[in-house]
Every structure is written in structure tokens, then in C-alpha cells.
Amino acid sequence: MAKSNSPIATRSATGTERRPGRTLKSALGNGRALVGGMLTEYARPGLVKLYVHAGFDFLYIEYEHGFFDLATLADTVLCARDNDLPVIAKTPQLERAAVAKLLECGIVGIQLPRTETRADVECLLDYIKFPPRGTRAIAPGYGSSGYTQPENWATWMAEQDQETTLVVHIETRRGYENAEEIVSTPGVDMVYVGPGDFSIEMGHPGDYEHPVVRGAMEEILTLCKQHDVPFGTTAASTTAAGEWIRQGAGFFEAVDELTLIAEGAARLVNEYRALPGTADLP
């Protein structure tokens, strides 16, 4: 098995225990910003291995807009777990079965797009936690338990509640206006502000660094620090990411496979076109 370059990788003495959710949450509190690699269209175990070799701290799956076959997605998540790479995914909607399928395939972090109220957060919390805290249905033996049957259901349920990670996703003006009630909701583990839609809502489409956009995001970051909840975003550049880190950001959903392919391909072709004999003829 490939050894992960990520410092948050963990394994039990027997080599069989998987604690990706607890490991992720522990790493968020160690003072180092985490960098997540994104999948937006191609879900393959091979991509997971490349992300592991690169040293990403977690895998983020864009399951709201992306096109994924659920069986292939489950294989990809299983590979990530086997390589100690925690997985966060957007749920396409706030619906019990949609959330359950993501959890059972082994995803630990459920990110709720367009989080706008405390009621939204409490509903998702109800779906991802077992009784008495929530109403998640029991389904051992899937990816969430490594395809083993737990010896003690009560113990396994308690461990799963520690594993599941609730990620709110603020990207609308209403979410911004209700940010304090959202961030302060008990059970919130991470707060992500999506700068794309947020910049549109704030009247400056695509300008992540516009003072109006940036200022509102910084207000949410301040709330997160007040309530001791990790704040994350997607930075406009590594320079911008550095500034976010200095202000206290704890994680980034940094880059997706389509961007990496497009930028890498363009860079290579441009390097070749700069060589004598490869440029277009006049």
C-alpha cells in the first residue's frame, strides 16, 4: 500500500482500523491549514492515488454539480479510505437517502450547499447522527465499516457519530445574514464559504478579492474564530491563500482535476511551442 505524504494519515496497530473523520477533525485543530484535492467529474481510484502521492490532506467531491456513477464513486471513496485520505462530499440535496448513501460508501464529511439557516444544519445533523442524537438508520457492513460487521452495535454507532463531520457551506446572501446562527449551531465541525456563488450574491461575479466579497467572508471567518469552528474556502491564488491562513483559515478546497489537467496540458504545449520548429508557420 502506498504511504501517504499527508501528515494526517493514521492507522491502528493492526493496520485495519480506519478513523478518517476523527483524524480529519483532529488535524483541523493542530494549527496547520489543510489542503484538499477536489474531484468534479472523474472519480477513479487512480486519481486518488495521484492525490495521495501529491500529499493532499483530504479529498473533496463536488457531488452537487459533478456527474458521477455512484458505484464508481464508492470504489473511489474506498480507495481513499484505504490510503488514509478522508473524504468530504457535497450532498446534492438535503434528503435522508441521499445523505445515507454518501455515508455508507465511506464518506465522513457531508457538506451542505446553500446552508442558510440553523434549521438546515439541524436537519443535516439529524441525518448523520445515530439515535438518540439523530435518526440515522443502522447499516453496518458497507464502506463506513470497511465491509466488516461490528461486534458491538452500540460501540460502532458511537464511533460513527465521532466519525461523521458536518460541513456547512455558506454561499448566499441569506446564509451570510444568518452566519452567526449557522456557525454557532452545536454540531458544526467546519464552515466553508464558496467564493464563486458568494461573489455573485454580493454583486461582484468571479471577483473573489473584491472588498465587498472579501470583507463579508472575513466577517464569517471572525465568527468562526469566536465559536472555535474551522473556516475554509477556495482561494483565488496561493498568495490569497497565504493571507487567509494569516487571518486564521483552517482548510482549503484547493483545486480540481479538470483545472489541473487543463493547466498542465496548456503549460506543456506552450513550452513546446516556444521551441524552434514547433510554432505555427507565419
What is the domain-level CATH number for residue 168? 3.20.20.60
In a domain, 3, yes or no: no
Q: Residue 141 — left, alpha, or beta (φ > 0 → left; ψ -120 to 50 → alpha)?
A: left
Q: pLDDT by residue for the chain (282 residues), tens digit each?
A: 344 455 454 433 333 468 999 999 999 988 899 999 999 999 999 999 999 999 999 999 999 998 888 889 999 999 999 999 999 999 999 999 999 999 999 999 999 999 999 999 999 999 999 999 999 999 999 999 999 999 999 999 999 999 999 999 999 999 999 999 999 999 999 999 999 999 999 999 999 999 999 999 999 999 999 999 999 999 999 999 999 999 999 999 999 999 999 999 999 999 999 999 877 655
Is it true that the peptide bond before 132 is cis, omega within 30 degrees of 0?
yes
Q: Model-level pTM?
A: 0.91
What is the C-alpha to C-alpha distance for residues 62 and 111, in angstroms, rounded to an integer? 10
Asked whether residue 10 is domain-assigned, the answer is: no
Question: Does residue 9 lie within any of the structural domains?
Answer: no
76 is in which domain, residue-wise? Answer: 20-273
Alpha-carbon gap, residue 95 to 27, rounded angstroms: 29
Alpha-carbon distance 74 to 256, whole Å? 19
Please indicate, yes or no, if residue 1 is contained in any of the structural domains: no
* CA pair distance 34, 276, nearest whole angstrom: 42
The reply to whether 13 falls in a domain is no
| Residue 2 domain flag | no
Tally the domains of the chain: 1
- Please indicate, yes or no, if residue 7 is contained in any of the structural domains: no
